[in-house]
């Protein structure tokens, strides 16, 4: 059963074109020019209940705008939209009772108070009984292993701990859909991995549909069997995440730091240096050569090595090049 259905969904913003200089500003007091910007353009999307779907695209692609339309924060300019059988921008309480949203750059926690204090407010906002509240809170504090942090001022928590609290607050009322907008933004690798593990567990154990917006390829690859790529507001890929990486990912990004500057370090054909200092080397290399490159690097006794996915921009470019628009 599909719980999100979007047909020809479009969101257009009007932008004021300010003429240059004081003369232009005076002129614009009487006559203004506007340009239309399609943040989302004729987008079709169906999401089934229980899915964990990734929404990826470079900055300004329209991911956040799409999430805001799904949650009713903003109204679409045109097209049809149904989420859980509701038109989101009607902002009906019965609809809002069934979903949750976590925005990586906006917090719903009271910074000066504790996470427990915020949870009590949300208990009343969602009209939860004392027993449901206790049961759900215990489940998530155990799952996230944050029981000892519940009575600590939020402002003193680390970014990773704070994000766990955001997720507990969002999941307190057992939503059917969880919208996540860049939940791992700014988090280190360990915290990101923990968040991903919890999300997978919540999706599996509670059947929560998760729509994850991110421009971190690691998030999508680790979590989402299906992903949608959007660019300039248009959907350019909708399908298996594995296939996406198989077909369009050509390189990996390797970062290595050394206690001593390495000598005689050679890179394979096709490798491209991104950053190089005596103690640090960041480069991109074809994914087939990663194993041999790592073997070579290990011979230079590196202090640290990390292998990351290619940036989303490169994938988007390749999808365009091969003209595989959906």
Residue 15 burial (CB count, 10 A): 10
Q: Smallest distance from the beta carbon of 153 to another protein, in angstroms?
A: 8
CA distance 78 to 7: 9
β-pairing, 78-83 vs 52-56, is unpaired
If the CB atoms of residues 164 and 253 are measured against another protein, the closer one turns out to be: 164
If the CB atoms of residues 171 and 256 are measured against another protein, the closer one turns out to be: 171
CA distance 315 to 313: 5
Taking Cα atoms as reference points, which of 54, 26, 62 lies closest to residue 223?
54
Q: Smallest distance from the beta carbon of 199 to another protein, in angstroms?
A: 19
For residue 321, the Cα-to-chain-centroid distance in whole angstroms is 25
If the CB atoms of residues 170 and 199 are measured against another protein, the closer one turns out to be: 170
If the CB atoms of residues 108 and 197 are measured against another protein, the closer one turns out to be: 108
If the CB atoms of residues 98 and 255 are measured against another protein, the closer one turns out to be: 98
Q: Smallest distance from the beta carbon of 186 to another protein, in angstroms?
A: 13
Which residues are at the interface with another protein (CB under 8 A)?
13, 64, 68, 71-75, 89, 91, 93-94, 96-97, 99-101, 103, 105-106, 108, 110, 112-113, 117, 120-121, 123-127, 181-182
Which tokens in the block code for residue 237? 């890929």
Q: Smallest distance from the beta carbon of 49 to another protein, in angstroms?
A: 20
Q: Smallest distance from the beta carbon of 18 to another protein, in angstroms?
A: 13
Q: Smallest distance from the beta carbon of 56 to another protein, in angstroms?
A: 15
Q: Smallest distance from the beta carbon of 264 to another protein, in angstroms?
A: 46
If the CB atoms of residues 44 and 107 are measured against another protein, the closer one turns out to be: 107
User: What backbone phi and psi angles, to 5 degrees, belong to 165?
Assistant: -65, -40
If the CB atoms of residues 75 and 305 are measured against another protein, the closer one turns out to be: 75
If the CB atoms of residues 215 and 235 are measured against another protein, the closer one turns out to be: 215
If the CB atoms of residues 105 and 295 are measured against another protein, the closer one turns out to be: 105
* Residue keyed to tokens 């096709």: 270
Q: Smallest distance from the beta carbon of 6 to another protein, in angstroms?
A: 18
Taking Cα atoms as reference points, which of 175, 191, 174, 171 lies closest to residue 183?
191
Q: Smallest distance from the beta carbon of 257 to another protein, in angstroms?
A: 32
């Amino acid at each position: 059963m599909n719980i999100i259905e979007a047909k020809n969904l479009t969101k257009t913003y009007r932008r004021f074109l300010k003429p240059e200089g004081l003369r232009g500003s005076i002129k614009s007091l009487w006559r203004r020019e506007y340009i239309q910007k399609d943040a989302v353009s004729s987008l079709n999307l169906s999401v089934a209940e229980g899915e964990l779907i990734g929404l990826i695209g470079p900055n300004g692609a329209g991911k956040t705008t799409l999430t805001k339309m799904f949650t009713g924060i903003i109204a679409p300019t045109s097209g049809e939209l149904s989420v859980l059988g509701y038109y989101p921008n009607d902002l009906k309480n019965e609809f809002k009772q069934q979903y949750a949203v976590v925005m990586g750059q906006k917090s719903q926690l009271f910074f000066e108070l504790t996470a427990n204090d915020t949870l009590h407010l949300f208990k009343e906002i969602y009209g939860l009984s004392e027993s449901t509240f206790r049961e759900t809170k215990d489940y998530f504090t155990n799952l996230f292993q944050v029981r000892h942090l519940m009575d600590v001022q939020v402002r003193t928590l680390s970014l990773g701990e704070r994000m766990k609290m955001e997720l507990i607050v969002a999941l307190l009322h057992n939503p059917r859909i969880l919208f996540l907008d860049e939940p791992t933004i700014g988090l280190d690798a360990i915290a990101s991995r923990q968040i991903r593990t919890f999300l997978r567990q919540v999706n599996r154990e509670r059947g929560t549909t998760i729509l994850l917006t991110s421009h971190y390829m690691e998030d999508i690859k680790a979590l989402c069997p299906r992903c949608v790529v959007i660019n300039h507001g248009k959907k350019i890929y909708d399908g298996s995440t594995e296939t996406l990486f198989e077909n369009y990912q050509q390189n990996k990004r390797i970062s290595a730091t050394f206690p001593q500057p390495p000598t005689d370090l050679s890179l394979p054909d096709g490798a491209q240096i991104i950053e190089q200092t005596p103690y640090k080397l960041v480069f991109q290399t074809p994914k087939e050569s990663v194993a041999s490159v790592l073997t070579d690097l290990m011979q230079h006794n590196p202090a640290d090595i990390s292998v990351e996915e290619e940036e989303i921009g490169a994938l988007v470019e390749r999808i365009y090049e091969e003209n595989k628009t959906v």
